[in-house]
Amino acid sequence: MPPVKIMSKYADYTSASDEELVGGAKKGDMGAFEELVARHRDKIYARAFSMMRNEDEAVDLSQEAWVKSWQRLEQFQGESSFGTWVTRIVINLCLDQLRRRKRHRTESIEEMDEESGGVERQMPVVTVNPTERLERGELRKKIEGAMDKLSHEHRTVLVLHEFEEMEYKEIARTMECSIGTVMSRLFYARRKMAALLADLKTETKS
């Protein structure tokens, strides 16, 4: 008896492009949409995690983003890549969650100092390049540790500018604040990161 070739249930979609899958999903093809989810789920989850710093919340928000993207598929016209479009949805969901959380918590004195600004101007300039003599994996780990030390607002502006490569005005629109606030927060976040990476690098050398 010849061996039976078992077709993966995913075989029909894995060779299709994102555009083809989006076209199918718009017609109600759940299989096509599932393939899109499978392709981009890590990226969407990673973006949610970078903002929320909590696994469970990031999973929930990323799933909510997928549900919303299914509901709003007709609005996607290909101005950006599909992955970028869903990333924008999850970013907005994360920001909504952070705003809700902020309404119910008291800011620490350190956070108030950060918000009021001025602290970053007193930090000494870091002259050492943090990428020197640090292996890629080690640097990633150090960056993650430093990101944890930032407030949500400063981490968000850093994520949107450095990782999502958004311009100031787009960040301002996304975060519902002024361009001046974006610039101040970004400046503080960068200077704080420089100081943290320099300290970590010093610890590594010693």
Partner 1 sequence: MNQELQLKLQAYLDGELPDGEAAEARELIARDGEAQALVAELANTSAALAGHEAEVKLPETREFYWSKIQREIARQEAPVAVPEPVDSWAGWAWRRWLPVSGVAAALCAAVLLMVLSGNSPAQLAEAELRSDEMGAYTYSDQQEKMTIVWFYDRGNDSQFTPAPAVANIHRE
Footprint on this chain of partner 1 (rule: CB under 8 A): 30, 34, 37-38, 41-42, 45-46, 49-50, 55, 59, 62-64, 66-67, 70-71, 117-118, 121, 125-131, 136, 139-141, 143-144, 158, 161-163, 167-168, 183-184, 186-187, 190-191, 193-194, 197
**Whose CA is closest to 91, among 43, 40, 60, 51?**
51
Q: How far is the CB of 151 from partner 1 (least distance, A)?
A: 17
Is the C-alpha dihedral spanning 43, 98, 184, 80 positive or negative? positive
Nearer to partner 1 by C-beta: 94 or 197? 197
**Whose CA is closest to 175, among 88, 103, 107?**
88
Nearer to partner 1 by C-beta: 131 or 202? 131
Nearer to partner 1 by C-beta: 12 or 64? 64
Q: How far is the CB of 167 from partner 1 (least distance, A)?
A: 7
Nearer to partner 1 by C-beta: 45 or 85? 45
Q: How far is the CB of 3 from partner 1 (least distance, A)?
A: 25
The whole-angstrom separation of Cα 62 and Cα 85 is: 13
The one-letter amino acid code at 20 reads: E
Q: What are phi and psi of 26, to 5 degrees?
A: -65, -25
CA 153 distance to own-chain centroid: 13
Instruction: Tell me the residue length of the chain.
Output: 206
The whole-angstrom separation of Cα 25 and Cα 31 is: 8
Q: How far is the CB of 2 from partner 1 (least distance, A)?
A: 29
**Whose CA is closest to 197, among 124, 129, 118?**
129
Nearer to partner 1 by C-beta: 102 or 202? 202
How many C-beta neighbours within 10 Å does residue 87 have? 21
Q: How far is the CB of 14 from partner 1 (least distance, A)?
A: 12
Nearer to partner 1 by C-beta: 102 or 112? 112
Tokens of 205: 């050398």
Q: How far is the CB of 103 from partner 1 (least distance, A)?
A: 25
